[in-house]
Amino acid sequence: MFIDSHTHLDSDDYREDLPEVISKAHQNGLYAMINAGVDLPSSKRGVAISEHYLGLWSAVGIHPHQATEWTPDNASALRVLAGHPKVVAWGEIGLDYYRNYSPPEIQKKAFIKQLETAASMNLPVIIHIRDAFSDALQILSSKKALNLRGVLHSFSGEFDELRWAIDNNFYIGINGAITFKNFRMQEMIKKVPIDLLLLETDCPYLAPVPFRGKRNEPGHLLYTAQKLAEMLGIGLTELEKRTTANACQLFKIPMPPSESVNLFPQKRLSQNFLVDQNIARKMIKLVKPEEQVLLEIGPGKGSLTKIGQKECQKLYALELDYDLSNQLKRELDPEVVIVNRDFLQMNLAGFAKFIGRKPVIMGNIPYNITSPIIFKLVDNYQHFQKAVLMVQQEVGQRLVAAPDSRKYGIPTILVNLFFDVEIKHYVSSRAFHPKPSVTSVIISLKPLQKPRYPVDNIGLLKELVKGAFNQRRKMLYNALAESPFRKIPKAILSEAFEFLKIPRCIRPGKMTLEDYVNLTNYLSKNIPLERVLFNIE
């Protein structure tokens, strides 16, 4: 299945037949399409239409032709728009001195600002360069510290410029122009590693032969793919696999499913579908969806979704399984936004800005990713109102465990620093299909306005807690002294224990949350601390 990495399906060219165009694209083997914005209105249209089509994703940005429209107000509006869960890139941006519809200096300023904005939102960039490679590559080179990812769309440069792109791991967008008789870049294209190639149509422009001169559309991508495979001397299937994997990696969207539709529970996704409607109604009651925006993690076959859609203001459902996403799209209210994406890739802060409020999060959480989801919620506690989650009983008990108990540990401390936690219901394994081997619980996480205790350095606290509980059978002092995460001078560690009256023989599990916070705050004032970037596994 192919991915069209650059379209303009928000264009008026598709106003009368967009559903048919997208349907035809899927019939012709397309899995996904990326709609690139050229200004604020087109970016808004692209996001709006992406909500209605599972395989359509969006990019937002201002094209160099419209560079004069990069104003503070438009920049702010685009940042908000980029918080939508179907926005996967920033673009189309860049420099175009061929048309010069905007003065070059203004183009450069808009380009620089948009590169910085994309980097701050961890979005890849879709770059347009025409007759402006010298300035464009100079700007990109000056911004290496931003660790930019992206694609040079409709590449038209020379060998040296191509070499720069390859050396800096930028993808190269290939479109219908390679089918034209006057195309003269065959040898250059052969120099591009296949792991840096993307296919694109740039529709409604640049229709490949035999449609040249007519309206282009994603369904024509196959002609470009066939020509590129021939040019590279590889099979079409190989090109399809490699370019699709490239696009999925760049835009962080799931890889396409197997050709056969599978609606059965998949072990690799740890799927146990909630089938007990009474339990589903209990969860919805806890959510209190009236006038709320709901964000559901892993709806599966939609037990929660089908009830929640009737009672909330708006519902967004993130389902990683493509076949289930497709089924939900057919069965649910058209206003429910189904996003075939991993929740762990979700920008919760951006999403809250996009919807103009904090969402309520709910979900029957797959057992194999419960911990990453919990820790993501910890990192984003300021960006949602409440979370009501179905988790394994053991996980729920860990979150409410008391010090000096077997289940007390890293999750207990970090979650209780930021949330009021309650186990609301115990749920039998009979409520699921297939029936799991363990009992589940429904938990409620209510974010606090601020951490339960003031913490000078959250990153250091995470390091101390993980260092301690990774060796929970040792005495806390020894565990921290031997921690691989930060080498704390033993003299300072000894001073901290003495000042805080912590017994040297205490074990990690006997320390309270407040004790760990006090230790963190003492150490943060007495040892040099660089900026901590830390992820709990």
Compute the mean pLDDT over every residue in the chain, rounded to the nearest whole number. 94
Q: Is 297 domain-assigned?
A: yes
Judgement on whether residues 227 and 287 belong to the same structural domain of the protein? no
Distance CA 192, CA 198 (A): 11
Judgement on whether residues 8 and 67 belong to the same structural domain of the protein? yes
**pTM for the model:** 0.93
In the DSSP assignment, the letter for residue 425 is: E
Distance CA 124, CA 90 (A): 6
Contact 68, 104 (CB under 8 A): no
Which domain range does residue 364 map to?
Answer: 267-447
* Cis amide bond preceding 289, omega within 30: no
Number of domains in the chain: 3
Q: Is 262 domain-assigned?
A: no
Distance CA 78, CA 506 (A): 52
| Residue 303's CATH number | 3.40.50.150
Judgement on whether residues 167 and 101 belong to the same structural domain of the protein? yes
Quick one: pLDDT at residue 187?
A: 95
DSSP β-bridge partners for residue 392: 440
Judgement on whether residues 466 and 418 belong to the same structural domain of the protein? no
Q: 328-354: per-residue pLDDT in tens?
A: 999 999 999 999 999 999 999 999 999
Quick one: pLDDT at residue 520?
A: 96
Note the helical H segments in 400-512. Answer: 410-418, 458-469, 476-481, 490-499
Count of C-beta atoms within a 10 Å radius of residue 53: 21
Judgement on whether residues 361 and 500 belong to the same structural domain of the protein? no
Distance CA 24, CA 20 (A): 6
Q: Is 534 domain-assigned?
A: no
Output the 3-class SS for 261-285.
CCCCCCHHHCCCEECCHHHHHHHHH
Angle between the 410-418 and 513-526 helix axes, to the nearest 10 degrees? 90
Distance CA 53, CA 375 (A): 31
Judgement on whether residues 99 and 122 belong to the same structural domain of the protein? yes
Count of C-beta atoms within a 10 Å radius of residue 264: 12
Distance CA 208, CA 225 (A): 10
Judgement on whether residues 332 and 219 belong to the same structural domain of the protein? no
Coil vs helix vs strand at 125: strand
Residue-wise over 293-326: b if at least 16 C-beta within 10 A, else e?
bbbbbbbbbbbbbbbbbebbeebbbbbbbbbbbb
Residue type, 92: E
User: Could you tell me the two tokens for 84?
Assistant: 């939508």
Q: Is 258 domain-assigned?
A: no
Quick one: pLDDT at residue 535?
A: 37
CA dihedral 496, 497, 502, 507 (to 10 degrees): 110
| Residue 10's CATH number | 3.20.20.140
Sign of CA dihedral 225, 228, 229, 234: negative
Q: Is 44 domain-assigned?
A: yes
How far is CA 523 from its chain centroid?
34
Distance CA 160, CA 167 (A): 10
Distance CA 318, CA 86 (A): 10
Judgement on whether residues 403 and 288 belong to the same structural domain of the protein? yes
Q: Is 533 domain-assigned?
A: no
Residues in Cβ contact with 187 at an 8 Å cutoff, skipping those fewer than 6 apart: none
User: Could you tell me the two tokens for 524?
Assistant: 């943060």
Judgement on whether residues 376 and 510 belong to the same structural domain of the protein? no
Domain boundary among 418, 447, 476: 447
Judgement on whether residues 204 and 225 belong to the same structural domain of the protein? yes
Domain boundary among 413, 447, 481: 447
| Residue 497's CATH number | 1.10.8.100
Q: Which of 344, 339, 327 is nearest to 273 (CA)?
A: 327
Distance CA 51, CA 57 (A): 8
Judgement on whether residues 397 and 462 belong to the same structural domain of the protein? no
Residue type, 298: G
Contact 412, 401 (CB under 8 A): yes
Q: Is 261 domain-assigned?
A: no
Burial class (CB in 10 A: 0-12, 13-18, 19+), 517: buried
Judgement on whether residues 430 and 388 belong to the same structural domain of the protein? yes
Which residues of the chain register pLDDT less than 50?
260-261, 529-537
Residue-wise over 167-189: b if at least 16 C-beta within 10 A, else e?
eeebbbbbbbbbbeeeeebeebb
Q: Is 259 domain-assigned?
A: no
Quick one: pLDDT at residue 482?
A: 87
Domain boundary among 201, 220, 251: 251
